[in-house]
Structure 1
């Protein structure tokens, strides 16, 4: 793979040609699709003689320049381009080509998901449909005609509004779609199938009626209610918070099973992974409902932050994704619990992005280069990107932020722009100089903030020292500029002051005149995505008194981490931590928030703090603490469980979700006892509860503590849901995440299960992907977990390189592993890079991990 080309941001060149209009005709047949592409093209750079179109795996049939059919001496076809020679300044190009969607297992371009034709064109899928200038800074007005068998494909959808329809004598029919808004090719979409639909309308702020449709497999219509409700809530929220009104009279969503991503914001026709549309209480967990609400909103919000204003090039990806993630996080916080939402957002960031930032695949939110752009749809670009927007919001304040986003929309509507343009709007409208803040866009790694406190003679001195990691190439990086929310508390827990500091130097001091030494509450609301290192800490005090919900949670987690680490060193369980945990058990607060406070630190959190990772040691210590807590507080945990266990409640309001959260947290803590009483509770919960939330938790507990009861419950679960792919994802995930002996053997056997299909990304993620995150068995010292996953990476890469590179990400912690595991990892990763046919997607990830 030494011939893999790298694309660099510094080499960006503006397009030499522009496309004014693109009229497409798709004639859809079972064994092929014929695409007729009619483009009006204008030469931007008058010195350009030839137009080079992106074209991958296309079978060219005919080519016309201004109605003149071209001979093969006038064009050149190679592996990834179609070059038309000696073109005039203004011309029309007609290209007719064939593609084979039913053979497209990469799910990129036009493919079939079951019996449904659908597309995924971000970032570079359109070139697999027809030759085109497939780059985000080339924007054209599209008109699309779809022609297919009207009995098998009665629903024909594309971007924009319907313009006309017709029937043909051969049993086929067609519909023409007209999208008035210029867009890049990555936002093009089509869908054809025999689908059920749920319809509704939304009245915009200007009294325009927008027709809303959610399409899905017939029989699933009843599972679309929550998605439709979420869509309408998102439309209203965007009008109220950002002044953004929807700009078409039609908004369509289609749910498909086979999809590489979560969803795609194609203009007016969002295509969704069905996992983020379909839900009812019998088949979806509370987390699924929250996820649907978030992703539905995310894709809708892209209409302005991604579609109306798009990226100049793919290095600017965080321009739309970081901003839109921030928007969907705020939406979810406004509709639900702000405290819980913020903690969940930070948990996700630390579990995924912090690990990425500490690995050889670390990169800035605006990368400098890539081999395969699909590899940069990462937690860094998305979640860290959102944190950077959140810091801008903090620096500007709500009022100035709104002025700045208004200016951004007014200045760049209909354009493909850069992150610099967004920062310009933020600074221009607010008067806040963000020049120093640009470092966040160009540096990688998670900065640390070392905190020292001193109190002498009525003076409290807070010294903050930035510890900025080197870049992946070893080069030094600059200190960051960011807001840091703090408070100083008196010895009775009262706030003496609360303010936002600006951290901007390697080292700086903040001095306060006080009558006594305060207790520091730092990085409130997680105001900056940094790791705080404190010489002193008073976690029990903050757990008890701090009014900031995030710092209270953070203190609980930090104290738990220190307690487990002391157990890893051979010490007894810290009884002060146990007393603090008991006070949380007795606290009367929001139940969803309380459930988070009672959660022990994850294995991932503990792993990130180790210089050399040994998962066996981590699991042993954590399990010891779990057993200690379960034993000491058995009666209290049982009381809470019984009080809130309501097996016939299926409501998804905040109160019901909170009750399920707290009682399931207590049941999980009790499961460390592995006694008959807990097994009976879990078994009864599985059999009596009517929500998937309760059944999935019970099934997971039984799997880990009672093989006999688990086998019976799993057989029942399988029989009931074997034909429901979304529920089977949960089934495979529970088994792949199991801590019981023999998990790898069972995972390998499940590949032959009738409900499993390696062509469906969700199923691969739920079985192979979840196993690769099962630290206990994936990282087993015998190395068999590594061998299995590498075998799957090599196999799946032949089918779907994007899925394979995602699995390869499980090896990102290679550098931090102990010598024995590292050696086993290296042996397997060497096999990947020595595979001659390996894709550039996989090669890029693995070559960075082992530093080729």
Structure 2
């Protein structure tokens, strides 16, 4: 892969040319699509001579410059570009080219999802449609005409508003769309298909009428109700919280099965992975409904934080993504439980981003280089980026943050900008110096905070020492500036103080006058994305008494980790933890929150703390703790299960969701007893419950404790849902996550299931992706898991490099493995990286893992 080129932020240069208008005509046929592209282009750098357009795998038909057809000596077709020689300062360029969407398995540019034409152009897909200056700082006004068969493709959609419709004598028809707002090419979209639609409307705060449409495969219209409800809630929330109204008279969403991402915010025409649109009680879990609400809102919020103000270059990706994730997290918190939402957000950050930070894939939220930009749509850019915005919100306070956002919108509307421009608005309106804070954008890794406490002569001294990890290249990094929310409790559990400290130095001391030594509750609400290292802990006390919901959860998790690590060393279970766990069982708390408090630490949380990971020890210790708690508190767990188990309830209110959450938590813990009694309970839940949430929870338990019940239940599930791809994703995931013997063999066999299709990313993620997180078998001591996944990466890379590179990320744990597993994994990594014609997507991931072993 000597051809893999590294792109550096320091090499950024403003575009030599810009596109003022882009008029596109797509003539869609089954075997090919012909694209006619008329651009009005202006030279920005007067010293430039030739126009260079990005162009990948396009079949050029002809080029016209100012209405004159160009001969071949006037342009040069290069590997990934088209060079038009010796152009004027301002000119009109027409390019006609052919593309072949039905062959496009990479799902970038124009492709077909089933019988639907659709696009995915972020970040660099538009160059696979037509030659263009395909970069986010080139913003043009687009007009798009689609022409296709009336019978096969009655619905023709693109960005903006409908300008005209027409019919042709040959059975074809056309629609012209006009988008009045300048946008970069990555926000261009088109869809053509025979689709069903759900229609609604929204009246903005100023009284503007907006038509809302959600398009999907016919027959799925009834599954769009929750998505439509979520969209209208998001529109209202953005008006109330940020003062942002929608700016077009039409908002379209289209759901397709084959999509590399979750969704895409194309101006006025959002294209969604169907998993984040379609849901009803029979086919979607509570988590699916919550996910739809979040992603629908996320893409809508991008209209202002991403579309109206976009990125100057792709190194600025967190500018739109970190900010918009923060916005969708706040939206979900306002509509549901703030406490539960905050914990779920932090769980996701730690499961994905903290692991990324402690791997060869570590990078700042604003990277300074990349080979394949698709590889930087990461948890760091998104979720850690959101935490950075949250810290700014905390530092400024609600009023100044809103003032700063207003300044940002007013100053940079219709521009392609940098993270520094955003921070300028925060600093100016927030009246705060943020120079040191900028390190969060440019430094990688998760900071650690050493905590030391001392009490003498009526003074409690809190000493905090920042430990900033080195960058991946070994270079030193500097202390961060961040807010740290703490609480102090007396011996009875009463809160005597809550304060947000501002941390900026490597070592700092804070003094508090008090007549007794208080109990410290630290990093409340997860005020900063850091790891706390305390010499003195009071986890059992905080589990019982802490008044901050996140800190209480954190204490339960950290105490659980402490107990499991002690078990791994051969020690007995600490009675204080067991009593604290029992206290939570008996507590009168919000049931969704209580279900989270009862959750034991994950494998991921435990392996992050080990220098050399021993998965067998982790699994054995967790199983021992589960059995102990389940045996001791069996009657209470059964009581809670019985109280909240309502198999006929399909409601989505907070109480119903919470009831399902807590009783399934209890049943899962009870299943560790692996008794016939629990297998019967799980089987009855599967058979009698109406919601997919309960069915999936029961199937997971049956698969891991009773092969007899499991075989019957999974056959029933498969027979009932085999035609529903979204539900079959759950089927494949459950089996790929199984801890029973023979899981890998069953995963290999499942690839032959009629419902499985390697061309559909969701299915690959469900089967192969889930298996990579099945640490028991992915890290099998015979290396079979590594070999299987390496084979799949090599195979899928030929089809869809973006999907393959995502799977390759599973190997980033390499440096934490024992000698035997390292050796076996290295064999597979070297086999992957030496594969002929390997994509730059996969090469970048695997080569970094090998280089930083």
Give the TM-score range, shorter chain.
over 0.9
CA RMSD of aligned residues (A): 0.5
Deviations 1:351-394 (A, max 9, x none): 00000000001000000000000000000000000000000000
1: distance between equivalents of 2:579 and 2:545?
14
Q: Please name the residue that 1:244 is paired with.
A: 244
Tell me the secondary structure at the aligned position of residue 82 of structure 1: strand
Aligned positions of 1:712-751 closer than 5 A: 712-751=712-751
Task: Tell me, yes or no, if structure 1 residue 437 matches structure 2 residue 437.
Answer: yes
1:830 Cα offset (Å) = 0.4
Superimposed CA distance per residue, residues 9-58 of structure 1 (whole angstroms, 9 cap, x where no aligned partner): 00000000011100000000000000000000000001101000000000
The aligned residue for residue 129 of structure 1 is 129
Could you tell me which residue of structure 2 aligns to residue 641 of structure 1? 641
Partner residue of 1:548?
548
**Cα distance in 2, alignment partners of residues 755 and 706 from structure 1:** 25
Partner of 2:68: 68
**Equivalent position of 1:53 in the other structure:** 53
Partners of 1:782 and 1:342 in 2: how far apart?
40
Partner of 1:486: 486
Show the 5 A alignment for 1:443-522.
443-522=443-522
1:758 aligns with 2:758: yes
CA–CA distance in structure 2, aligned partners of residues 318 and 637 of structure 1: 43
- Distance in 1, Cα, partners of 2:615 & 2:418: 42
Aligned 1:165-176 pairs, distance under 5 A = 165-176=165-176
Q: Deviations over 1:173-217 (max 9, x none)?
A: 000000000000000000000000000000001100000000000
- Alpha-carbon separation, structure 1, partners of 2:621 and 2:591: 27
Q: What's the CA shift for 1:2?
A: 2.0
2:3 maps to what in 1?
3
Q: How does 1:239-638 map to 2 (within 5 A)?
A: 239-638=239-638
Aligned ranges for residues 16-55 of structure 1 at < 5 Å? 16-55=16-55
CA–CA distance in 1 between the matches of 2:632 and 2:540?
19
Question: 3-state DSSP class of the match of 1:600?
Answer: coil
SS of 2:658's partner is helix
Determine if the alignment matches structure 1 residue 218 to structure 2 residue 218.
yes
Give 1:492 shift: 1.1
Single out whichever of 671-680 and 227-236 deviates more from structure 2: 671-680
Q: How far apart are 1:5 and its partner, in Å? A: 0.5
How far did residue 135 of structure 1 move?
Answer: 0.0
Match of 1:73, SS state, is helix
In the alignment, the residues of structure 2 paired with residue 498 and residue 694 of structure 1 have an alpha-carbon distance, to the nearest angstrom, of 40
Q: Deviations over 1:686-744 (max 9, x none)?
A: 00000000000001100000001000000000000000000000000000000000000
Alignment of 1:120-199 (within 5 A): 120-199=120-199
Deviations 1:308-338 (A, max 9, x none): 0000000000000000000000000000000
Deviations 1:50-73 (A, max 9, x none): 000000000000100000000110
Give the Cα–Cα distance (whole angstroms) in 2 for the partners of residues 103 and 478 of structure 1: 49
Which residue is 2:230 aligned to?
230
The residue number in structure 1 matching 2:112 is 112
2:243, 2:221 → 1: CA distance?
A: 31
1:183 alignment partner, SS class? coil
Instruction: Find the residue that maps to 1:850 and give its secondary structure.
Output: helix
SS in 2 for 1:315: helix
Match of 1:841 in 2: 841
SS in 1 for 2:516: coil
Aligned length: 852
The range that moved more, 537-546 or 526-535, is: 537-546
State the distance in 1 between where 2:156 and 2:446 align.
Answer: 47
Partner residue of 1:800?
Answer: 800
Q: Residue 47 of structure 1 aligns to a residue in which SS?
A: coil
Shift of 1:98: 0.1
- In structure 1, how many angstroms separate the alpha carbons of the residues matched to 2:40 and 2:136? 17
1:526-574: CA deviations, max 9, x gaps? 0000000000000111111111000000000000000000000000111
Residue 406 of structure 1 deviates from its aligned partner by 0.2
1:822 alignment counterpart:
822
Q: Tell me by how many angstroms 1:3 deviates.
A: 2.2
How many Å separate the matches in 2 of 1:836 and 1:478? 41
Matched residue, 1:832: 832
- Please, which runs of 5 or more residues in structure 1 have no aligned partner? none
1:687 matched residue in structure 2: 687
Residue 78 of structure 1: how far off its partner (Å): 1.0
Instruction: Work out the CA distance in 2 between the residues paired with 1:674 and 1:131.
Output: 61
After TM superposition, give the deviation of residue 513 of structure 1 in Å. Answer: 1.1
SS in 2 for 1:408: helix
1:464 and 1:165 mapped to 2: Cα distance? 67
Cα distance between partner residues in 1 of 2:72 and 2:7: 30
Corresponding residue of 2:86: 86
Measured against aligned partners, the alpha-carbon deviations of 1:422-473 in whole angstroms (never above 9, x if no partner) come to: 0000011111111110000000000000000000111110000001000000
CA distance in 1, matches of 2:430, 2:484: 19
Structure 1 moving runs of 4+ over 2 Å: none
> For 1:547 and 1:461, how far apart are their aligned partners in 2?
22
Name the SS of the counterpart of 1:571 in structure 2. coil
Q: Secondary structure at the match of 1:180?
A: coil
Q: What is the CA–CA distance in structure 2 between the aligned matches of 1:624 and 1:544, rounded to whole Å?
A: 23
Alignment partners' CA distance in 1, 2:339 and 2:401: 21
Say which SS state the counterpart of residue 79 (structure 1) adopts: coil
Residue deviations 1:656-706 (CA, integer Å, cap 9, x gap)? 000000000000000001111100100000000000000000011000000
Give the C-alpha shift of residue 272 in structure 1: 0.1
Q: 5+ residue gaps in structure 2?
A: none
Q: d(CA) in 1 for partners of 2:141 and 2:467?
A: 49
Once the two structures are superposed, residues 598-647 of structure 1 have per-residue CA deviations (whole angstroms, 9 ceiling, x without a partner) of 00000000000001111111001011101111111111101100111000
Q: Secondary structure at the match of 1:182?
A: coil
| CA distance, structure 2, for counterparts of residue 50 and residue 595 of structure 1 | 63
Q: Deviations over 1:394-424 (max 9, x none)?
A: 0000000000000000000000000000000
Q: Distance in 2 between matches of 1:587 and 1:265?
A: 43
